[in-house]
Structure formats: C-alpha cells, structure tokens
Chain A
Amino acid sequence: MTNQNTISRESDLSGGEYKWGFVTDVDTELAPKGLSEDIVRLISEKKEEPEWLLEWRLKAYRLWADLEKKDGEPTWAMIDYPGVDFQDIYYYAAPKGTNEAPKSLDDVDPEMLETFEKLGIPLQERAALAGVAVDAVFDSVSVATTMEKQLGELGIIFCSFSEAVKNHPELVKKYLGSVVPHTDNFYAALNSAVFSDGSFAYIPPGVKCPIELMTYFRINTEGSGQFERTLIVADKGAYVSYLEGCTAPFRKTSQLHAAVVELVALDDAEIKYSTIQNWFPGTKDGEGGVYNFVTKRGRADMNAKISWTQVETGSAITWKYPSVILRGDNSVGEFFSVALANNHQQADTGTKMIHIGKNTKSTIVSKGISAGKGNNTYRGQVQIMPGAENAVNHTQCDSLLVGDQCGAHTVPYIEVRNPTARLEHEASTSKVSDDQLFYLMARGLSEEEAHHMIITGWSRDVIKELPFEFALEASQLLKVSLEGAVG
C-alpha cells in the first residue's frame, strides 16, 4: 500500500522559488581542489579499492587528460556557457565519518537524516510503508541504504557502489564500463576517473523486484562536483523499476555534475528507469545552477526491455541522452521525456536508439517546454544497423514555447541501413493555443492556472509512464518551475 504523504516532497508550491536550496551544515572532508593522478589515487585509496579498479580509473584519467589537452570539453551541443575550470573543483567531498559505511540508520549523522527528511526522502524504516528502497547519496558518498535486508531475502543486491566493490567485486568487474566504456566521451572518461559513489543494483534471474528502488542525490558542498556512477544489472528474466531524484543547494557559482548510468538487461529482463531531475537551475538572472553533463545508456539483450522516463526541470545546463543499445533480437527500447527550460536554463537532451538485433522496437516521445529566456533542444539519434531486420522506430517530439524570448530546437539524426526497417519521425513546435487558453479562462481559471493545466495535459503521454508518486511530483514540479513565465 502506497502512502503518498510519506514520499511527497512536502514543499510549499505557492512561491515559485527553488525550494531545495538550503545548505546542510555537516563536517565535510575535502580532497584538495583540482584533478591529477594523485587525486585519482587518493579517491581510490579513501575508498579502499582493489588494484584493478585503481588501474581502471587511471586509464580513464589519462584518456581524459589527453582529450582535455587536445580538444577540451565537447562543444557540439546547442548550449552556451563560460566553460568549466576543471582544476577549480573538489573531486572528493564526503561527510566526515562516513569512511565506514553506517551499519544502521542510527549511525548516520542526524543532520544528514534531517536533510533527507526535509527533502521528503523516507530514510526511516517507515519507508517500508512507501514501498521503496532508498539509497541516499550526499555529495559524493552514499550515506544510507534502506531495506537491504528485505531485498536480500530475494537475492536482490541494492547498495552503494563502494559497498558493491567490496562485497560483490565479481559483478562490478564484469559489468562496470561494459555499456559506457571510459572511452565513450569526455565526461564519461572524467566520471570513470573520479567517480566517488553511486548505487548498484543486481536482480537475480527470474526475480521481479517487488518494490521500487530509489536513489536520491544531493550536492551540498560549494565548489564540489558530483560524479556518481550507477550500475543496474537485471539478470535473465528479472524486472526492476528504479527511481532517481536529485537536488542541490542555492549557490551563485555553478556546480558540475557528471554522472554515468549503466543498465544491463540480460535476456528477457526488463528495467524501467525513471528520473526526476531537479538540480538547482540557477537564479532568475542565470547565476549559478548545476551543469548536468550525464551519460546514461542501457544494453538490452534478447527479448529484453529498457524504458527511460525523465522529467527534467532543474539544472542550468542539461546535456543528457539516455540511450538503449538494442543488441538482442526482439528487444525493446523506450524513451519518454519532458524537459523544461525556464529563465536562463538550457537543455540539450534526447536519446539514442541503436538497433542491432532483429525485430527490435523503439519508441521515443519527447516533450520540450521553453519559457522565459530558456532554450530547449531535442537531439536524438535512431540508428538502424544492417542486421536489424524488421526494426521499427516511432519518434514523436513536440515543443511548446511560452513567451517570445525562448527557443525550441529539434535535431533528430535518422540513420537507416536496412531496407526492412520502418521508421517514422514526427515533430511539431507551437505555442499554447490561444483558443484553449481562452476556453479555460472563460471557465474562471487564471492565465497561469490555464497554462499549467494545458501543459500538464500536453505532457501526459510522458507523465503517465512514471510511477504514481513520481507522476504527482512531476506535475507539481512543472507548475513550480513555470511560475513567473506567464503573464
């Protein structure tokens, strides 16, 4: 039984300001600013990692340093920002006293518990009522994971990445970097070198995970970057639904978030991955905010299914393309996204569907909302490889413009190398219809309420893909994020 009050973010939605901008005063252990081989060694040492993982990190670091020297950070996306000074970032920030993983919630710093309480994340055992298991990641470190025991009875492993390295090295070694290799791109290389923690989940063959798994990410320390790594493996015939939420304090300097998420769905498995991304978007005048440069990709084997659903309302800049490699025959990939860019936010987001296996299917539904001075770009790639007999793709991407100072862009890449494939792409761009607004306002709604109602309805195709509690929150987030954009 789901108790919606337990999980709601309990935020007052009337003001329109970013509600999650408070700072938690906890003792933090910081490595010196900047990035070098020594820092990579330090991170690995702090986490008591085995030699192979250090070597893997160093390989990634050397590649990244090389890329940085040669080309710098990638510039192809339609985003405009002053660039990142990679030597002015803390690559390791951990709440003090977390070197040892807490044995139970009693060992967790009360300040931190309070933070997650304020954010509405149910770390207490009452979380059981909400039907989710939560891994809470504070700055770079996982501070608490709930319901490990209950899940353990089913053979499900759900823990922080560091614990997984210690307790399940064979699984980590087998799958780490198997979907997003360290050579994939600039930020994937950076993440591979310095990733600090994140979540790990393994669902054994044939097991249907009975509750939703959730990771909550929180950046706290000023000037720190967050580089978490998530690895989810659904073994043959397994099923899991995974939720991800994120917030950061109000800071006038920008923060870098470069995460990597790898999903592995073995034969007949299904992974449903939902994200509500609500990093600090910057002030109304475009100061501060999180740079969200994320690589997310899943691998679907025979008959497997991977579904990405995302609601992107936060971050000053979003650069994110959750993708599916459909390598097994009959595998299915889905991408449902609502991305909102208000004030000075910039979002360049979309997906990649790589069809390799026969009879593979993919569906893309992307809704982009631009308001204020925001710029929203859908960038998606659908690739049909020569062996992908009878592959099918349907893509729909719609953009909505609210106000005359924003921008909405669509950049699909469609690459077809098999004649049996069927591929359709359609897109439209418009503003909120005057007729619909007029109708609702004639029924007594304010202009803002009318806009919100129309936008929620317009995003419904995506929102309905979210688990119930997330759907409610997503709709409220859209409302808050849009406040001030109308009228």
Chain B
Amino acid sequence: MTIETPPAAVDKFARAFEKLSSDKSTSPEWIKSLREKAWSAFSNLGLPTKRRGNELWKYTNLRPLADLEFSYGSSGSVTAEQIKCAGPWDDAWDTLVVVDGKFSSELSSLNGTTGLRATSLASAIESSEGDVESQLASLAGKEEYAFTALSTAFVDDGAYVSLGDGSELEQPVHVIFVTSGASESRAVYPRLLMNAGVGSSMTLIETHLNLADTPQFSAPVIEILQDGGSAIRHYRVQMENEASFHIGTTRVSQQGDTDFTSTSFAVGAQIARNDVHTLLDAPGANCTLHGLYMTNGSQHQDQEISTTHAKPGGSSDQFYKGILSGKSHAVFSGKVIVMRNAQKSDANQKDLNLLLSRGAEIDAKPSLEIYADDITASHGATAGHVDRDTLFYLQSRGVDEETAKAILVRGFAEEMLNEFEPPTLFDFVERVTDERIPVLLAESDTIGTA
C-alpha cells in the first residue's frame, strides 16, 4: 500500500493556466484540448520531489523552485543590442528570437533562405500549418514528465522551423530564447518545434539568455523530428543568470540513416537541467550527444541524457565533461537503452569530471540497459583533481601554480570547445570559457602535490 502525497506546487501555476485558457479561447480546438490534457497530467504529477524512489530526481532538489513566487505581469522589453552583447550573433545566420516565450519578429533576422521555413510557433499553431497539429507535443508532452506536461499545458508560442526535403543549408539557423530584465520572477515556457525533411541537412544553434538579475524560471522544450537521411548539427548554449532556474527538455526522433550530432555548453543558472532524449527509431540512425558543463558558487547543473536504440544498426555516443568549483554540484545521468531487436547497435558513454574544490560534488550515473546480444556497449566515468604530476611538471618548467592550473583546466575543456565549428560561435564559447576559468580557479582549493 502506498500513501499518496499531494502533487507539489500545482497551485502556483493554476492561476496562470486559467488566465491562458481565457485569453486563448479562440485558439483551434486541437490546441485547447492538448493544453487541457497536459494540464490535467501536470496537476496529477506536480513538481518532482527528491523523495526516495524518485530515480529521475535523486540528485536534484527543486525545493527552491517550488518556493519561488511568480508574478504574471506582461513581458519586459529587449533590444537587439542587448541580445548581441549577451550571446553569439552572426548576421549571416537566420536568427529567430523568442522573448519570454513569445516570438519577436522585430528582433529576429531572417534572410529568406531557400528551403527553410522559419516563423513563430503561435502563427503556425493558429493556422494549423503543415504537420504542426500532429507533431507538436508528439515527442514531448508525455504524461510521465512533469515539465513537458507543464510546458505543453502552457504551449502558446516559440519558434517553428521546417526544413524542406533535400535542402542543405550552408549557414546555421540560430534560435535565441531570452528572458527579459524584470524585478519580479516569472515562469516562461518557450518551445521550438522543428522538422527536417528527407535528405536535408543544417546546423541549428540554440541559445538561452537571461537579461534579468532576479530569479526567473524557464522551461524550454525542443522537439526535433528527423526524416530519413537528414543530418542535423546541433549546438546548445545555456547562459541563464545565476539566480534562475532552467529546466530544459530536448526530444529528438530519428528516422533511418539520420545523423543528430549535438554539443552543449552549459554555464548558467542556479539550478539547471538539460534533459535530452533521442530515439533511434529506424535502422542506421546515429546520434552523438556531447557537452561541457562548468559550475561554481552554489550552482547546480544536471545533465539527464538518454538514448533509445529501437531499431538495428544504430550508433550512439554520449560524452560529457564537467569542471566544478566552489560549493557547486553537478549531476550526469546518462542512459542508453538497446531494445530487443536493435541488433548491431553500438553505444558509448563517457563522463569525465574535474573537481577543483573541497565543497564541490559530482554525482555520475552512466547506465546501460541492454536487451539485444549482438551489440557493443561501453561506458566510463572519472572524477578527480587536475593531475598532480602534470601540474608539477609545468611548475618545474617555471610556470607558476595558478597559470599551470589554468592551462590544465583550459586543456581539459579544449576538446569540447573545438567541437563548436561555426567561427562566430567558437569565438563566443571560447571567450566565455576564458572568462570563467579564473572564476573557477578563484574558488578552487590547492591540493598539495603527492
């Protein structure tokens, strides 16, 4: 017998849901019913709690989020300069800007690229454009996840990107999710729905910025549907302010012979979660999920990465690196599932961590769940300080300890930074990293040479 605990913190979202329902009474029926169903799922689930047995939230405590009081005021204003200053920007890119969950056509910069349909999700929903009705919340809206249910209950606007069959884009498409400056705390639910046609290819950059210095809550949901033979190079940059909560969800479904290659760069937020699930839904799909996370102060970064091999002949590679300092806490929870008939699958999983200070904590859980025999799967995880011998070597060559440490930390990050191919983007993450390393080292502890 189980005693039910009431779902946590549902009330604080209820008023906003009522308001949305009345504001959007003229929306198409299908979207209204989608919202209703998702709201009912969320009201049953509530915010996840760290209680025993809640494996998905074992290491992440959302109490501070549950305690946050939201206001329901209108969104603030954001200028193009603010955005260009806070995140990566390139005029050659097709850029879609979503402010506080609403698409902004003024701030967006679209170049009319052939084969690319990029617009506001709200207009795509209102006109039930293309396959929006069948695709929206088809990957992320599932009832067992509180945050996708919550986001779907409030689904309203965001970005919609559709790449035509055979289109191969030369320049990246950049989607910026920005939270405007405001003194009160707000909850925003931006979404990106994207589909890539047969044989198409493109680069997608996703940037999360926050112009407020107060605690904000953002729960972006990204859904990517890839048709056969398509290839997506994906980058994710998360730079929320350090008072905020960022619970991001990415769901990707891959058809045959597709490639989804993703590198994430996460440095922001008080509590951040990057929840990624890729489904290799047809033979020969390949998926690469890489990322770098850096934490200091009292930050909490949670990487919840999973891949399901549902069909034969796919490959997946999860590789994350973490640098932790101060009293920060990072979590890597990787999972690979190889289903019964997914023979000839190949899966790799790796999480390497640098622990720079005594107060920091890393919890890694790289897990494999395998139901097919003709496969290869491996995983590894490490945690430790910068190598003392290497540090000693550099010092014996006349490099002072602080510089030597900075060189080693930078070297550790380098491998991930180099994956950011578009030059403007590389320059940006490199600059952020170089600014961040001294902060990390200032909060680090000296570990005597052994």
A interface list, Cβ under 8 A from B: 69-72, 75-76, 78, 384, 386, 390, 399, 401-431
Interface contact B377-A76, CB-CB below 8 Å: no
Interface size on B, residues (CB 8 A): 41
B356 nearest CB neighbor, chain A only: A419
B interface list, Cβ under 8 A from A: 1-3, 53, 55, 340, 343, 353, 355-358, 360-385, 445, 447, 450
Additional 13 contacts, C-beta under 8 A, given A419-B358, A425-B379, A430-B376 = A401-B373, A409-B367, A412-B365, A412-B366, A414-B362, A414-B381, A415-B363, A416-B353, A419-B445, A426-B378, A427-B378, A430-B375, A431-B375
Measured CA separation A47–B443 after assembly (Å): 60
Which of chain A's residues have a CB closer than 8 A to the CB of B374?
Answer: 404, 431
Measured CA separation A51–B172 after assembly (Å): 77
Which of chain B's residues have a CB closer than 8 A to the CB of A72?
Answer: 1-2
Measured CA separation A431–B372 after assembly (Å): 9
Which of chain A's residues have a CB closer than 8 A to the CB of B364?
Answer: 412-414, 416, 425
Tell me the dominant secondary structure on chain A's binding face: strand
Q: How far apart are A393's CB and chain B's nearest CB, in angstroms?
A: 9
Which of chain B's residues have a CB closer than 8 A to the CB of A415?
Answer: 361-363
Measured CA separation A76–B353 after assembly (Å): 27
Residue from the list B357, B375, B378, B383 in contact with A414, Cβ < 8 A: B383
Q: How far apart are A351's CB and chain B's nearest CB, in angstroms?
A: 15
A405, A417, A424 interface centre (most CB from chain B within 10 Å): A417
Which of chain A's residues have a CB closer than 8 A to the CB of B365?
Answer: 411-414
Q: How far apart are A424's CB and chain B's nearest CB, in angstroms?
A: 5
Interface contact B55-A409, CB-CB below 8 Å: no
Interface contact A409-B369, CB-CB below 8 Å: yes
Contact of A402 with B373 at beta-carbon distance under 8 Å, contacts A70-B1, A412-B365, A416-B361 already known: yes
Measured CA separation A82–B445 after assembly (Å): 52
Which of chain A's residues have a CB closer than 8 A to the CB of B375?
Answer: 401, 429-431
Q: How far apart are B370's CB and chain A's nearest CB, in angstroms?
A: 5
B373 nearest CB neighbor, chain A only: A401
Q: Can you name 20 A-B pairs with beta carbons within 8 Å?
A: A78-B369, A399-B368, A408-B370, A409-B370, A413-B364, A414-B383, A415-B363, A416-B361, A416-B362, A416-B363, A416-B364, A419-B356, A419-B360, A420-B385, A420-B447, A422-B384, A424-B381, A425-B379, A427-B366, A428-B377
A428 nearest CB neighbor, chain B only: B378
Contact of A407 with B368 at beta-carbon distance under 8 Å, contacts A418-B358, A423-B382, A427-B378 already known: no
Residue from the list B340, B358, B385 in contact with A386, Cβ < 8 A: B358
Which of chain A's residues have a CB closer than 8 A to the CB of B366?
Answer: 410, 412, 425, 427
Interface contact B384-A423, CB-CB below 8 Å: yes
Residue from the list A402, A413, A417 in contact with B361, Cβ < 8 A: A417
Which of chain A's residues have a CB closer than 8 A to the CB of B383?
Answer: 384, 414, 416, 421-423
Measured CA separation A413–B374 after assembly (Å): 26
Q: How far apart are B360's CB and chain A's nearest CB, in angstroms?
A: 7
Interface contact B3-A70, CB-CB below 8 Å: yes
Residue from the list B55, B372, B385 in contact with A76, Cβ < 8 A: B55
Measured CA separation A284–B59 after assembly (Å): 40
Residue from the list B380, B445, B447 in contact with A427, Cβ < 8 A: B380
Interface contact A414-B360, CB-CB below 8 Å: no
Measured CA separation A130–B367 after assembly (Å): 43
Contact of A75 with B53 at beta-carbon distance under 8 Å, contacts A404-B340, A411-B367 already known: yes
Measured CA separation A62–B257 after assembly (Å): 59
Interface contact B355-A419, CB-CB below 8 Å: yes
Q: How far apart are A383's CB and chain B's nearest CB, in angstroms?
A: 9
Measured CA separation A62–B374 after assembly (Å): 49
Interface contact A427-B379, CB-CB below 8 Å: yes
Measured CA separation A405–B341 after assembly (Å): 9
B343, B383, B384 interface centre (most CB from chain A within 10 Å): B383
Residue from the list B357, B370, B445 in contact with A401, Cβ < 8 A: B370
Measured CA separation A412–B385 after assembly (Å): 21
Which of chain B's residues have a CB closer than 8 A to the CB of A403?
Answer: 373
Q: How far apart are B103's CB and chain A's nearest CB, in angstroms?
A: 41
